Amino acid sequence: MKQFLLSVSLLIGVAVNAQDCSDLFISEYVEGWSNNKALEIYNPTDQSIDLSGYLVQRYSNGSTSAGAQQSVQLSGTIEAYGTYVAVIDKRDPNGTGQEAPVWDSLQEKADGFYCPDYNVSNAMYFNGNDAVVLAKGSVSDLGNVIAVDIFGKIGEDPDMGNEYDGWTSDFPFVGAGVVVTTDHSMIRKSTILKGETNPQISFFDPLDEYDSIPPVVFDQSLGYEVGNWESLGTHECECETASVTSEEPVKVSIYPNPSENGEFIIRVNNGIEKLEVINALGQNVLTENNLDAVSKINVSSKTGVYFVKILTVDGRVTSRRVIIK
């Protein structure tokens, strides 16, 4: 407990002084079926960042501390405005139970694999009811690590009394509404410019900063379930837009997002010459030409994550993500 209290005092100091777009944060959290688990980390700065000075910690089932076995040091580099995808290291095609392999489609998204042995480090074995922390520092000096982002609420166990434990969609976000952090992917909203660094938040509202989607969906055309994590490896963030000073950025808004029925309104500040909607398998499901600056789009497709690719009337290309529930 002493270690946790020390960490809290350090984290609070960082929370007061943290600046938007100044440090890494979690941009996507994948808690899928079996061992399909991943974290996407985003660099909102204009400089590359060495990941060897960062670690991931898992605060399991309401625990208020995370030791070396619940921590793992990261490695690699994240380029400016780039992402890094960390995936649990379960790649034995013959593995079963706790050793079941990560699906090939998720393995292909990985920039690095972590925690092959639960007894050495179980930081990547998170479930939807575990808090996950991205921190600066070293596993060998946990008393001095400093959080740069916290997913969930440290010290809270959102126990629903069944296999779908996790934070929910309605206040108080434990026990009311629908569980949205278990067997789901949580995608950070593009308007979020920094991580959550306060370990003493009164409650964790999972839909305040994240969109929640099921990471495994049944594909009607294929006749079986597929991983819906095509968005891993890219992240939309206004930090990158804010860095462009040479010309007015393309301003795009989509509402509602998520869409409940496949319909949404898209607004582009300088008009749309061509619009394409692409599904998680990379297939084009809709093409529209010569649209007004404000247009209604009807995808009329199944649930999942889609990418809207836009060619503006002045020849610039941009894309946005839309979620259909």
- The answer to whether 26 and 39 are in contact (CB under 8 A) is yes
215 and 288 co-located in one domain? no
Can you say whether the dihedral through the CA atoms of 261, 265, 268, 272 is positive or negative?
A: positive
- Of residues 149 and 15, more confidence is placed in 149
Phi, psi of 277 (to 5 degrees): -115, 125
Lowest mean pLDDT among 186-195, 203-212, 215-224, 286-295: 215-224
Instruction: Give the Cα separation of 318 and 268 in Å (integer).
Output: 10
22 and 165 co-located in one domain? yes
211 and 128 co-located in one domain? yes
217 and 299 co-located in one domain? no
- Of residues 253 and 180, more confidence is placed in 180
With cut-offs at 50, 70 and 90, classify the pLDDT of residue 215. Answer: confident
With cut-offs at 50, 70 and 90, classify the pLDDT of residue 262. Answer: confident
- The answer to whether 188 and 163 are in contact (CB under 8 A) is no
200 and 133 co-located in one domain? yes
Instruction: Give the Cα separation of 251 and 266 in Å (integer).
Output: 10
With cut-offs at 50, 70 and 90, classify the pLDDT of residue 318. Answer: confident
Q: What's the whole-number mean pLDDT along residues 24-49? A: 96
Among residues 238, 257, 272, the one where a domain terminates is 238
Q: What is the pLDDT of residues 107-145, one digit of tens each?
A: 999 999 999 999 999 999 999 999 999 999 999 999 999
Among residues 238, 270, 295, the one where a domain terminates is 238
38 and 97 co-located in one domain? yes
Q: What's the whole-number mean pLDDT along residues 189-210? A: 94
Please, what is the Cα angle at 85 between 138 and 83, to 5 degrees?
95
**Residue-number span of the structural domain to which 15 is assigned:** 2-238
Q: Indicate whether 227 pLDDT > 90.
A: no
- Of residues 218 and 312, more confidence is placed in 312
Among residues 238, 273, 295, the one where a domain terminates is 238
With cut-offs at 50, 70 and 90, classify the pLDDT of residue 159. Answer: confident
167 and 314 co-located in one domain? no
Q: What's the whole-number mean pLDDT along residues 57-83? A: 96
Task: Give the domain CATH number at 281.
Answer: 2.60.40.1220
Total domains in the fold of the chain? 2
Q: Which residue has the tokens 């270690």?
A: 3
Instruction: Give the Cα separation of 201 and 100 in Å (integer).
Output: 35
Cα–Cα separations (whole angstroms), residue 71 to 3, 29, 137, 204, 320? 14, 17, 11, 22, 34
257 and 189 co-located in one domain? no
pTM above 0.85, yes or no: no
Q: Indicate whether 54 pLDDT > 70.
A: yes
Q: What is the DSSP string of 251-264?
A: PEEEESSSBSSSEE
226 and 257 co-located in one domain? no
Instruction: Give the Cα separation of 53 and 292 in Å (integer).
Output: 47
264 and 214 co-located in one domain? no
Instruction: Give the Cα separation of 181 and 169 in Å (integer).
Output: 9
50 and 170 co-located in one domain? yes
Q: What is the pLDDT of residues 135-145, one digit of tens each?
A: 999 999 999 99
- Give the CA diameter of the chain: 63
158 and 258 co-located in one domain? no
